[in-house]
Amino acid sequence: MVMTIGSDAIRTAFYVAGPMLAAAMLIGIVISVLQAITQINEATLTFIPKMVAVVVVLAVLAPWMLQVLQQFTADMIGNAGEMVR
C-alpha cells in the first residue's frame, strides 16, 4: 500500500510539473542553439524566455493541473480509513 501511494504521488507530481519542465527545456534548447549559431554567450539570455514559457504553460494548463491535484487529494482522503488499519 505504501508503494502504491508513493508511486501515485510521484506520478501526480510528474503530471503536474512535467509540462512546465518540458516547456522550459524546449525553450532552453532552442535558445542554446541560437546562441551557438550567433556565438552570443550570454547566460542570462535564456532566463526571460524560459520564465515566459513556464507562465504561459501554467496559465493554459492550470485548470487541468488543479483537477489532477484535486483527484489525487480526494483519493488520498477517501482511502484514509483503509490506510490507518
pLDDT at position 85 over 80 = no
Q: Which residue has the higher pLDDT, 44 or 20?
A: 20
pLDDT band for 18, please (50, 70, 90 cuts): very high
- The SS3 call for residue 40 is coil
Calpha distance 21→30 (Å, rounded)? 14
* Domain count for the chain: 1
Q: What angle do CA 56, 45, 38 make, to 5 degrees?
A: 120
Q: What is the pLDDT of residue 69?
A: 96
Q: Is the pTM of this model over 0.85?
A: no
Structural domain including 68 reads: 2-84
In percent, the amount of the chain with pLDDT more than 70 equals 100
